[in-house]
Structure 1
């Protein structure tokens, strides 16, 4: 496989058509080697327009989201160089690497020990020094990282039924949170912005589907 051609085609045929036009984001996607964050047996899928499974014996488990999804979230979060970012759901570390090139500091939480080790090694090999992978239980991950709050931006790299208020409260005023919210068959990628001490705005970006993050509560259902 011609890796550089595949990377070019990913950007031009998948990402640009999704209105990801920020040249800084596109340049970053051309620079950070996505293939180095994909499980070795699946490297041929690194640039494909699909979710790449990260644990072979867990078919409904964590994935690397599609390139266009990661690119769109990165663009719409508008992370700045002086900002501090929290990610929940490290996976293989690729989104953390992208965020680390945009932000001053990235904290990224992962509950699967195998992925913690994988992400740390991937980030080390990519010479990313400003992203710290923290191993947590699923319940701890769903609570965020209050000891390091407030954050300028928070990313949920997976889906949730709804975003807990406890996470929204870890944003600075002006801070943004990106999440994929809802239930099958269609979920919404959404940006929340803290507009005041007790106020948040919401903007829906696009429809998609992603595996659940562990530890987050489902919506209550009442039977009559």
Structure 2
């Protein structure tokens, strides 16, 4: 059976993303234009527009479309923004960020996923996104970003992520411990890394970033 991906994409926007209160016109246009199926392995391409997390290897998954839409909307990207993404995965959200901002640096700890994402971005003609094979907890940069999008959960928001924000910058991340996880937007409000304001967005659950899971508590 031949799938009409354009029709499936339109249905995803109208039946999944909009009902989740994603109403930003630029975000909806980006999701409506970008072929999500081009970022999904052939074996799962029929599920590209399903309300599911799709496995991409190494125990990693592609986020649900509704979570991607809410993340993009919360970041409120402007065309001049410089963005850092932590967890490239399939490269789909990287592409969305690149559509909405000036440029994107994306970190992916698995070399093969990074290579595949680079190829997909190139195939879509997206030249303002750089994928770096690196672990976010070992990577360092003097660069500061207007927005950071984190594709995995953390127990506690790492200070190093906040340090990479410019004053006035914002960080989308999922924090907490299952089943009480929430997506938040961390606003950096000054030069001091502790000068932050946390805005609660919605409840959700994600797998932890490697190195960001809760430390096991042992009791006698």
Which bracket does the TM-score occupy, shorter chain normalised? over 0.9
Rounded to whole Å, the distance in 2 between the matches of 1:146 and 1:114 is 23
Superposed displacement of residue 215, structure 1: 2.9
1:221 aligns with 2:217: yes
Partner of 1:93: 91
1:208 aligns with 2:204: yes
Segments of 4+ moved more than 3 angstroms: 219-224
Partner of 1:156: 150
Counterparts of residues 29-68 of structure 1 (less than 5 Å): 29-55=31-57, 58=58, 61-68=59-66
Instruction: Indicate if the aligned counterparts of 1:86 and 1:107 stay in contact, CA closer than 8 A.
Output: yes
1:16 aligns with 2:28: no
Gaps of 5+ in 1: none
SS in 2 for 1:133: strand
Gaps of 5+ in 2: none
Partner of 1:195: 189
Partner of 1:73: 71
SS in 1 for 2:97: helix
SS in 1 for 2:169: strand
Please give the TM-score of this superposition, normalised by the length of structure 2.
Answer: 0.93
SS in 1 for 2:17: helix
SS in 1 for 2:166: strand
Superposed displacement of residue 98, structure 1: 0.4
Superposed displacement of residue 187, structure 1: 1.1
Once superposed, what is the RMSD of the aligned Cα atoms?
A: 1.4
